């Protein structure tokens, strides 16, 4: 991600990897670079581990940062990569008018569905795959959406022996929108794993 900002978009990037998940320390360390006029020259990305309840105390994006990627052990434990928390991770582009309105609305709808799913299963200690009583249409769609958002990375090819995938933004948006609309409610959720577009899901 940082490489894309630097090499493709021509931006100077400050990449912060916060292993300790101490937000105060990274803000303090970054402040000298981001204070005054320097902030306008830098695109700031933060990568940090999940360490607290992601539903009851979701942290706001720190004032000096442009984007944050919060790693999610729940997704990792279920073999869903990249294991990026869909509710905690974020970008200022989602709220400052950079995205088209229809795109911002789609992101909000997807997050609303995923939040509802996590509140019903993760926080309450339930596993929807083992409890028929909680397998509502929304939960099933959320599980399909989680799996559709997986992607094989080129950088991981030596470790996974699986070819990387490039997925266009428009293709991802189309798939997310159609999943939310319920167009694939009859497609088994395992068909959504590591597909580079919704067309591949339908072909399975």
**Same domain, yes or no: 108 and 43:** no
In angstroms, the first-to-last Cα distance of the chain is 30
Alpha-carbon dihedral sign for residues 63, 68, 73, 74: positive
Whether 202 and 135 share a structural domain: yes
Q: Rounded to an integer, what distance in angstroms lies between the CA atom of residue 180 and that of residue 81?
A: 20
The pLDDT of 64-78, averaged and rounded, is 81
73 and 107 housed in the same domain: no
The gap from C-alpha 177 to its chain's centroid, in whole angstroms, comes to 16
Residues 202 and 187: beta-carbon distance below 8 Å: yes
Whether the Cβ atoms of residue 163 and residue 152 lie closer than 8 Å to each other: yes
CATH number, domain of 126, equals 1.10.1140.10
Same domain, 121 and 58: no
83 and 137 share one domain: no
- Per-residue pLDDT tens digits for 122-141: 545 555 555 554 678 998 99
Range of the domain at 65: 1-98
Considering the domain architecture, whether residues 127 and 181 belong to the same structural domain is answered as yes
Q: Write down the H helix ranges in 7-100.
A: 23-34, 73-77
Mean pLDDT confidence for 143-169: 88
Q: Two tokens at 178?
A: 């159609």
CA distance 128 to 113: 14
> How do residues 60-70 score in pLDDT, each as one tens digit?
666 667 777 88
Last residue of a domain, one of 45, 63, 98: 98
Task: Indicate yes or no: pTM above 0.85.
Answer: no
How many domains, in total, are found in the chain? 2
Mean pLDDT for 36-65 is: 54
Q: Order the strands of the 42-49 sheet from edge to edge.
A: 12-17, 42-49, 67-71, 90-91
Minimum mean pLDDT range among 83-97, 109-123, 124-138: 124-138
61 lies in the same domain as 125? no
34 and 54 inside one domain: yes
Q: Which residues pair with 103 in a beta bridge?
A: none
């Amino acid at each position: 991600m940082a490489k894309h900002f630097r090499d493709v978009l021509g931006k100077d990037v400050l990449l912060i990897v916060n292993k300790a998940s101490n937000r105060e320390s990274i803000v303090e360390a970054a402040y000298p670079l981001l204070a005054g006029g320097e902030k306008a020259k830098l695109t700031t990305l933060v990568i940090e581990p999940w360490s607290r309840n992601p539903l009851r105390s979701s942290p706001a994006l720190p004032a000096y940062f442009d984007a944050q990627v919060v790693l999610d052990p729940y997704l990792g434990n279920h073999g869903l990569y990249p294991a990026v928390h869909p509710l905690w991770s974020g970008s200022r582009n989602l709220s400052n008018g950079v995205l088209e309105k229809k795109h911002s609305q789609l992101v909000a709808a997807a997050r609303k569905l995923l939040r509802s799913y996590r509140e019903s299963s993760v926080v309450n200690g339930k596993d929807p795959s083992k409890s028929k009583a909680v397998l509502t249409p929304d939960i099933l769609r959320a599980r399909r959406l989680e799996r559709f958002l997986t992607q094989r990375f080129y950088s991981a090819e030596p470790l996974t022996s699986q070819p990387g995938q490039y997925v266009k933004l428009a293709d991802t948006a189309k798939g997310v929108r159609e999943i939310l609309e319920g167009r694939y409610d009859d497609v088994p959720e395992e068909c959504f794993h590591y597909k580079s577009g919704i067309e591949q899901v339908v072909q399975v």
